[in-house]
Structures are given as structure tokens and as C-alpha cells.
Structure 1
């Protein structure tokens, strides 16, 4: 049985916005209760932005767009470097806020704030790269393609890894000359607002505006005609609503949405190593990452050994509050998420899957669900089709690599996939055949800087990071210039 420890956190109130260079009190009458995931107790509330507050934030961004566009790129980059330094200096406090709000481990929360600072700094450098290209035309003319900012960009980000998700999009939008209205998720409103405010204070007033809000606030942002591009990281359902609302008025969207990432374990791999990779992918951040491993396909030759190792790893993991140094698995973000995880596991067990470890919420206050391993899962189970977003490794046994590859490539999502194999031919086939944004071979996490990926199917559209994100934050304009014919005296 997984070990548990206990503690508690303080209370917060998220009732402010940052509009046109200043913090303003929220005027909405209705607050959304915020529950401490470690104790189950109410710890504050979020006051969503009203339509009037959204309009004020968009107006501020719209009013400063010409000024920010005309600001020389090195000056925009310098502002981002100041923002990066400020975020890095506050990484400890931001980490504490994130851990208290979402249940993410304190060490990981602080590290994610530092990663956000790194992304701001990286954009300050990469954003000064080529801003267009020249064309081979007539010797008597100049032909070029310019990259120009969209104008006002809405950045709507999730609760599960809010600092890097927001920082990457904000940095790319800002360094390329866009102004921004940013709405963090209401489930991580306070840490999201605080990081957004810190970044905004390094910029001229109106360039970055930060709103606390819920889906209604997001709808008001995405339907505003002055918002040229909406960049969203979050659930598929929310992404589809955003795409429909923005598309109806001709707005553009960038979406990184849900995932149901598979890992394929081929014959010939070392079982203990494979189990460690699966546990890392399935259990880190309590399984609440977009690229968490949610489907496990094990070749029959190694399945028994891998499952035994995986169960042993899960059983030894320490489940407890995010602030305790010994904790390896924190609480789920809230009861709503725990109910999804519990339902998926329960329904799979009733349909014939075997729960080998975990499988039930812990009998203690807070939204705790232990690391769970199920064997004998089938493709028709919700656990294998719908996003679970919890610490669950759902195992299906296969007899061939072909079968595993077919199953891994199935379903509505196409965010990422992992293949563990000693066979180079199998690795190359996976890279070629898996229709997902990212394929990882022999490592569930990792990768060099400078990559970009387009999610497939219900996982979204458009690059969510890297140099191609910078390009997506701009629009193209072709210029053809010839000398004028002058009057002759």
C-alpha cells in the first residue's frame, strides 16, 4: 500500500486583474470557490472577469498595439529579459502558490516557475532571428516577404502546468510585436495571475493585460472582434468551443488540447527500465500533464516482468501533501478531477480489467488517488479512449509490435507517443507511422531546444512551442517595390 503523509496550506483570494499597467479590483459579484486539494477545505475564491472588464483589457491591448509593434525588436527582447529575471527571482513564491492551489509537488512547482523564466529569456534571443525573406525577382525591383504581428493576441492557459504553458505563449506573442490579453485557468488563478502580473510590470502599460476568469470570461475574450489570434492550451472541449467562436468571426487559433498518449514496450527491452519509464510518464504530477502516459501496450514476451516491476514501483510511492519533501504523488487538483479518474478505473474494472495496485481514493481528507496499475484493458473502455488525467497506468498486452503500433496510433487524440524498443527498424517505423505531434523513442520525456510540433486530430492545431510558434504569432505580407517614374522637365 502506498505510504501517505499529511499537512495543510493557507487561504487565498483571487479578486484582481491587471489592466493597462495597474492592478484593479474585480467588480464581479459572483465568486468561484477554491478548495485546497491537500485538505478538501475551502481556501478562497476566484472572482471572474465581467464582460466590461474583458472589454477594458482588450481595449488596452488594442490601444497599445501600434506602439508595441513600432518598438524596435531589441527593446522588446530587453523587456522580456527583465521579465525573466523578475520571474526567476520570484520562483520560490510562485512555486508555493502553485503547490497550494493545484497540489503539484513544491519542488516541481518551483522548478516550473524557473522553466517559465528560461522560456522568456529564450524568446528574447530567438525572437531576434529572421523576420522575413527576400525573393529573387527583377534586378530593378525589391521583392520580400515580411512577418508582422497579428495585433491583439488572447492567451488562455491551463492549471496543470501553468507557468511554462503561459510563458512560452506570452513570450512568443510579445517578442514578435503583439499585445496580449491573458487569462489563466480559474483552477490556478492566483499563481497564474501573479506570474502574469510580474511579466506585465516589465512591459509598457497595456501591452500585457491579465484577467482572472472562467469559461464565460474566456468566451467574452474569444468573441471580441479586436482579438486577432487566440492561443489556447487546455482541454479539447474548451479548445473546440474557442475554435468555433473565433472562427465564426474570422479569428485565428492555435490550440494544444487533450491527449491520450501511449507507450509501446517492445520485446527485448529491460523490464525494470521499461517500468521506470512507464511510472515516470504515468505518475509524475499525479498524471496531470498533457503528455502523461495514459495507455500502455506491452509485448507478451516482457509483459509479466514489466507489470511486476511497475506494480512494485507504484506500491512504494509516497502519496501526500505537495509541501512534504518525501511526497512523490500529490493530490489531484480537485474533487471534479478525482471523480473522472475514479469513474474510469471503476468502469474498466467492471468491464474486466484487473486492478493490481491502487484503484480507489485514499480514505483521508483531500483529493488523493494513489498510483494505480490495471492489466487486461481493452480498446472499448473509456480508460483507453477518453482523457483520464490521473495517476493511472492502463495496460494492454499484445503479441506483435505491429499490433502495438496500430493500437498506439488509434483514437481521437494525437499529441505525443513513446516507443521503447531495441530494434532500430521498429523505431523508424514508429517515427514514420504514428500520426502524432511528438514521437519519443526510448525516453518518455526529454528533447533538445528548438523543436516544434503540430498536434493532430482532437489534440489541437498549430505549433505550441519552438521557433515555429514564433512564426505562428505573425502574419505574412509580400512586398514588391519598383522605382517610381519621375516627371521630366
Structure 2
């Protein structure tokens, strides 16, 4: 069996009686115990989804859309419950968690509307023939979702799969199993039996699903897990749809207001304690604005100190602090933060590092915490070149008033998403393809419907 990691070490304790124990990252108190699905239960879930696949595929698309509309309404009704569960399991502030639920509701509604209008093409063949390209559901989709935005991400992958006539086996993250299960139960209540199956567990359960006889494995999480899933899919023939780690750069050009740039950098680095897929992971600032930018960024870190929640657990805090400590040992300096606080929970302060160099883990790997490592560069070209280096290719942000520099940035940066002058900006429905080890395939927007379907060419001739 392949081995899947759990991100940055498990946030839960696997007990001898095969349970996940989830701790509140604010207080270290137990907030839930969830049984781990046995291999037999996982096999049963896949087999049940397979049995339901034909009937769900034949269900008219408008009826599938109506079911998703009903599911979205149920999730909306339970938004406060889901947000509270999410906050207790992961430490995410309740308002942020509620925002993720609202986003998930919107996504379910989006796919409820897009599914019935997802279409194929007609081709121009012989006069007496009809030639078509028809999208068909791929079959059974294994959906493995993360802890940092569990409802919104699950709503996208599950919603697109169901809207196009696939059935789903969903494994929520072991870091928020109660949130993930409750969301999936709300959706499943509006579907025929077997169309959405739910299994709970750790990386071993995810590994079992990745190697099971399914047709798609859709995963959002770490790059190491994504590589293991890709290898499993290469053996089984399943399609791998992956959004994995990022090491997103932020470039601060010479012509921007340093205070505004620092506010953008702080938002990108510290929101949700840096635990967002497209968080800012490293900062390249032009030397001529560096001093003013750093002074403002330290002030911003102070403002964020009382606004962010804890990291998801102490294991992840050890990962984050390991990157920071390695940078400090390598000659970097902490202008603020950089130390594990006393007391319960998995809190970590907003941290600003200066004197960072490319080979430090905090610059070359995904830290996924409230850390802003800064590298001062002599010019915009150096910032683009260093920002584009590395194995990851999820997203990047550039702050500049120079239209030529903006044009260069989106042309030259080898990432799936380039944001100019807005660290979390973007229109609804936008979809991109990650580059490098950050994943493969479209994970959002109308294009996700294409990922969930296979095109069949049909030639109807006459005899």
C-alpha cells in the first residue's frame, strides 16, 4: 500500500481502539473522538458508490442540479453549527470559518447551475452522418480534502463531481473529521443511497482510497501526499486531480507606497495564521523601499497579533517553528515574533524575518504559518527571477505601479495564478492549473466540470 502523509504530521492521536482524537488547538482539550474506517468499510464505500454510479449518471442533469440546490440550502441552515465545529477542531476564528461555509454554499449553488448547461460539441462530418463530442461522468471519485478550509474545498470537489453525474467517496481531513463528516452528511441527505459515501480516517485510509478501484482521485493537501497519489493513479489508471503545496512569492516594487504594501504583505502572510493555500510564503522587496516597508510590516504584525487564532495543532507548530529556527540559525534575524509562546494550545506569533537567503527552508519550502520571511533585492528583475525559482508553482503576487512590470510579471512567473496589486484578489469562477509540484488539473470554476468528465466521440452514419 502507498503511504500518504497527513500534511505536516498528524494533528490527532490514533488510539489503540482505532479512533482519531482531536484536540482543541486553543486549549489542548479533547473536542472529539472519531472511529477510523476499517479497510472493509472503505471497500464497502467504494463498492456502494460503484453500484449507485449508473443510476446517478442517468439521472437528468436538471434533477442533479435540484438535489445540489437542496443540499446547499441545508448547509446554509447549518452554517453556524459547521463554523463552530470547524473552529473547535482547527482553531480557525469563527467568523472566518463561517465565511468558508458561506463560500461552500455558493460553490454548491454554482455547480447546481453549471451542471445542467455543461455541454459537448457537434462536429462537421459527412452530410449523411452526425458527429458528436459528448462529456460523460468518469464514474467514482475519491475526494480527499484538507483541514484549512474544509467546507469550501469539499463543496467544490464534491459539487462538481455530483453535478456531472459521478458518485463520490469522501474522506475529510483527520484534523477536522467532525466538520467534514457533518458537511457531507448534509449533502448526502438529498441524494440517493450510495451517491455520496463518507469514510473517516488518517493517512492510511487515504492511501487505501487512492489505490482503490476508483476513476478519479481529487486531493487538496501537501505535495508529498500528492506525489504518492499520482503514483497510485499511474498504477490503477485513475485520473489524479491535485492541488498541493505552494511557496507563493510576493514582490514589492520600488514605486509602491511602503505602508500599503506592508498591509498587503501582512494580510497574505498572517490571515488564518498563514494557513491558506495561497498564503504569502516569501517576500522580495526592492532595496529603495525596504526600510520603510519593514518598519510598516513590523507594525502590521503587531496589529495582527491579537487577531489570529492558533495553528491547527502543536505538531504543525513544530513544523513552522522548525523553519523559523533554521533561518535564525542560518543568519536571519527576527524583527518580531519567532518564538513559541508559553501556555496551552498551538499559538504562534506573527513573525517577520530579515536577512533570508534562498536555500533556507523558510524561503524554499511551504511553511504554512504566520511567518513573513523578507529578502531585499536590488531590482525588479532579480525579484522576478528569484520569485520564480523553486519546485512549486501555485500562485504569486506582485505589487507595482508600473504597467510594464505588471505585464512582465504575469508573463514570466511560472505559476498558475498571478495577482497584481491585490494579494487575495480574483473574480468568481476563475480557475487555474498549478505548476511544478503544486499539482495538476483545474480545481475550481467551470473547468472543474471538464476534469470530472471524459469526452466520448460519437459518429452516427447511415447504412
Q: Does 1:246 align with 2:225?
A: no
For 2:128 and 2:273, locate their aligned partners in 1 and report how far apart those are by CA, in whole Å: 63
1:251: how far off? 1.3
Q: Larger deviation: 144-153 or 39-48?
A: 39-48
The one-character-per-residue Cα deviations of 1:377-431 (angstroms, maximum 9, x if unpaired) are 1001011011111000000000110000001101110000000000000101111
Q: Is the 8 A contact 1:14 1:212 kept in 2?
A: no
5 Å-filtered alignment, 1:382-421, equals: 382-421=361-400
Q: Does 1:267 align with 2:223?
A: no
Equivalent position of 2:430 in the other structure: 451
Q: Does 1:476 align with 2:463?
A: no
Equivalent position of 1:299 in the other structure: 286
Q: Which runs of 5+ in 1 are unaligned?
A: 1-12, 16-27, 320-327, 485-489
Equivalent position of 1:379 in the other structure: 358
Q: Does 1:347 align with 2:326?
A: yes
1:447: how far off? 1.0
1:450: how far off? 2.3
Pick closer, same or farther for the CA change 1:471–1:14 going to 2, 3 Å.
farther
For 2:229 and 2:17, locate their aligned partners in 1 and report how far apart those are by CA, in whole Å: 25
Equivalent position of 1:332 in the other structure: 311
Equivalent position of 1:427 in the other structure: 406
Q: Does 1:359 align with 2:346?
A: no
Equivalent position of 1:115 in the other structure: 103
Q: Is the 8 A contact 1:14 1:44 kept in 2?
A: no
- Paired residue secondary structure (2:117): coil
1:35: how far off? 1.5
1:47: how far off? 2.0
Q: Does 1:198 align with 2:186?
A: yes
After TM superposition, the score normalised by the length of structure 2 is 0.96
Q: Is the 8 A contact 2:22 2:30 kept in 1?
A: yes
Equivalent position of 2:159 in the other structure: 171
5 Å-filtered alignment, 1:119-130, equals: 119-130=107-118
Q: Which structure has the larger Rg over C-alpha atoms?
A: 1
Query: Which of 299, 316, 319 does residue 303 from structure 2 map onto?
Result: 316
Equivalent position of 1:323 in the other structure: none
Equivalent position of 1:441 in the other structure: 420
1:33: how far off? 2.4
Q: Is the 8 A contact 1:255 1:464 kept in 2?
A: yes
Q: Is the 8 A contact 2:13 2:21 kept in 1?
A: no
Equivalent position of 1:284 in the other structure: 271
- Paired residue secondary structure (1:255): strand
For 2:35 and 2:229, locate their aligned partners in 1 and report how far apart those are by CA, in whole Å: 21
Question: RMSD over aligned Cα, in angstroms?
Answer: 1.5
Equivalent position of 1:21 in the other structure: none
Query: Which of 75, 82, 90 does residue 102 from structure 1 map onto?
Result: 90
Equivalent position of 1:157 in the other structure: 145
Equivalent position of 1:59 in the other structure: 47
Q: Is the 8 A contact 1:94 1:191 kept in 2?
A: yes
Q: Larger deviation: 129-138 or 91-100?
A: 129-138
The one-character-per-residue Cα deviations of 1:451-480 (angstroms, maximum 9, x if unpaired) are 110000110000010111110000010000
For 2:392 and 2:155, locate their aligned partners in 1 and report how far apart those are by CA, in whole Å: 25
Q: Which runs of 5+ in 2 are unaligned?
A: 1-11
Q: Does 1:46 align with 2:34?
A: yes
Q: Is the 8 A contact 1:91 1:111 kept in 2?
A: no
1:14: how far off? 12
Q: Is the 8 A contact 1:357 1:372 kept in 2?
A: yes
- Paired residue secondary structure (2:406): helix
1:318: how far off? 3.8
Number of positions where the alignment pairs a residue of Structure 1 with one of Structure 2: 452
Q: Is the 8 A contact 2:118 2:449 kept in 1?
A: no
Query: Which of 20, 24, 28 does residue 32 from structure 1 map onto?
Result: 20
After TM superposition, the score normalised by the length of structure 1 is 0.91
The one-character-per-residue Cα deviations of 1:330-384 (angstroms, maximum 9, x if unpaired) are 0000011000111111110111111000111111111010000001110010110
- Paired residue secondary structure (2:169): strand
- Paired residue secondary structure (2:429): coil
